[in-house]
Amino acid sequence: MKDMLGRENVIDSKIALGLLLENLRGGNPPEVNMNIEAALGMVASRDVISGEDLPSFARSTVDGYAVRAEDTFGATETMPAYLNLFQEILMSQKADFALPEDNASKIPTGGMLPENADAIVMFEHVQIIDDHTIEVLKPVAPGENVIQVGEDVKRGEVVIRTGQRLRPQDIGACAGIGVTQIPVFRKPAVSIISTGDEIVPADEFPGPGKVRDINSYVISGMVSESGGISLRKGILKDEYKTIRDAIETAMTDSEAIVLSGGTSVGTKDMVARIINDIGAPGVLFHGLSLKPGKPMIGGVIKGIPVFGLPGHPAAVSICFELFIKPVLQRLSGLREKWPQYSRKMVRAKISKNIASSAGREEHVRVMLEERGGELWAVPVLGKSGLITTLVRADGTIVIPLHLNGIEAGEAVDVRLF
């Protein structure tokens, strides 16, 4: 975007993300049925409602004796309640009898309570008198040491909610109510297009003036880690028709498109022009008050997000985290309650002063070091064009738009890679 004087009109990253999100296609992603084990980490596309009570019978939570609670009321060590031993309850067996008054049935943890029994006395509060009689030394309240019918899940209860990412315990809950197939949203496919006449594939030897493709691998890895499927579409010439054709094809087989490379002025402008030429709304921003990442292009064509990333690996990583990751979360159907906390963060002290321009959000790569029991964030020096500055870093810190920098010893939040 240029203003009336032809200057690049940079916007801040929050506004830029907002523009992207509000121009995405509405509606939910397509669904697919998965075996619950394979659904781990995917996003539920429908509420899972239980067709039954869990457990379906009252269970003991301890090893002990099933009793009618009222028969133990007032019992003490000196004035125990005497109960007759009734039929023993065996693990996994149906307790198909009713417990008579002043009787008790031995029961294992997980065992089924017989009719009329409403509490369990633990072994340690019982004295065995003989084969037929026990003394109960402590009273139990009705319901004590019992999981009631439906106490875990009631028939008709929503166990899994649409839009939640399935964690191990969610898979376990499905198993518990007999749901072994579950509808989930299909993962979004992301086309990754490398441009740049100087880029050669990683398995080729780059001649003079040429370098191997690095960014498409970094992007591909970040797509996978963000719950997407990456489609690496190869390395294209910096030509209008070639790139336009590739974007149009990608719009038919993917939910998002990432272009990497094209760092030179001419190429950047060409990518922006192509995005605008293919369809509305086109380029939403071109230039950010962000370092690294300033020359990033963000656009949407007919609901499909298209990202033109700067060529520097550090900028790729930051732009992905700030824009592509939240867009992929939306495209995954994820309705995460706490997206801002879904990252690994750690608090540390910054090891040296860092200057920054007010009016620019700056992301600084840092290594963590423990010194005297304290955690320190040590800035990783080196140009943002070097992939190894990212390799040596453990994470990044943000110097917000309005600050001129931070001082050595200040506390910072490190977002871990």
Q: Quote the CA–CA distance of 248 and 37 in Å, as a whole number.
A: 36
State which of residues 24, 34, 155, 417 lies at the interface with a copy of itself (CB under 8 A): 417
Q: How far is the CB of 280 from a copy of itself (least distance, A)?
A: 30
Residue 5 engages a copy of itself in binding (rule: CB under 8 A): no
Residue 202 engages a copy of itself in binding (rule: CB under 8 A): yes
Q: Quote the CA–CA distance of 181 and 165 in Å, as a whole number.
A: 15
Exposure b/e, 101-137, CB count within 10 A at least 16 = b: eebbbbbbeebbbbeebbbbbbeebbeeeeeeebbbb
State which of residues 238, 255, 361, 362 lies at the interface with a copy of itself (CB under 8 A): 238
State which of residues 341, 373, 374, 407 lies at the interface with a copy of itself (CB under 8 A): 341
State which of residues 343, 371, 408, 409 lies at the interface with a copy of itself (CB under 8 A): 343
What tokens appear for 345 in the block?
């963060």
State which of residues 10, 193, 219, 412 lies at the interface with a copy of itself (CB under 8 A): 219
Report phi then psi at 125, rounded to 5.
-105, 20
Q: How far is the CB of 268 from a copy of itself (least distance, A)?
A: 10
When the beta carbons of 238 and 361 are compared against a copy of itself, the nearer one is 238
Pick out residues in 148-187 that bind a copy of itself (CB under 8 A).
151-153, 159-160, 167-180
Q: Quote the CA–CA distance of 295 and 292 in Å, as a whole number.
A: 9
State which of residues 391, 409, 410, 411 lies at the interface with a copy of itself (CB under 8 A): 391
Q: Quote the CA–CA distance of 334 and 163 in Å, as a whole number.
A: 5
Q: How far is the CB of 185 from a copy of itself (least distance, A)?
A: 18
Question: What are the distances in angstroms from CA 35 to CA 73, 158, 185, 331, 359?
Answer: 49, 19, 13, 22, 50
* Residue among 152, 156, 55, 68 at smallest CA distance from 104: 68
Please count the other Cβ atoms lying within 10 Å of the Cβ belonging to residue 402.
9
Count CA within 13 A, CB hemisphere, residue 119.
Answer: 16
State which of residues 15, 57, 128, 234 lies at the interface with a copy of itself (CB under 8 A): 57
When the beta carbons of 201 and 359 are compared against a copy of itself, the nearer one is 201
The region of 17-25, 68-76, 193-201, 402-410 touching a copy of itself under the rule CB under 8 A is 193-201
Q: Quote the CA–CA distance of 25 and 408 in Å, as a whole number.
A: 45
State which of residues 16, 112, 315, 318 lies at the interface with a copy of itself (CB under 8 A): 112
Are the C-beta atoms of 103 and 57 separated by less than 8 Å? Answer: no
The region of 25-33, 86-94, 185-193, 324-332 touching a copy of itself under the rule CB under 8 A is 86-94
Residue 326 engages a copy of itself in binding (rule: CB under 8 A): no
When the beta carbons of 386 and 403 are compared against a copy of itself, the nearer one is 386
State which of residues 217, 285, 307, 323 lies at the interface with a copy of itself (CB under 8 A): 217
When the beta carbons of 288 and 301 are compared against a copy of itself, the nearer one is 288
When the beta carbons of 75 and 173 are compared against a copy of itself, the nearer one is 173
Amino acid type, 354: I
Q: How far is the CB of 96 from a copy of itself (least distance, A)?
A: 8
* Residue among 412, 417, 335 at smallest CA distance from 375: 412
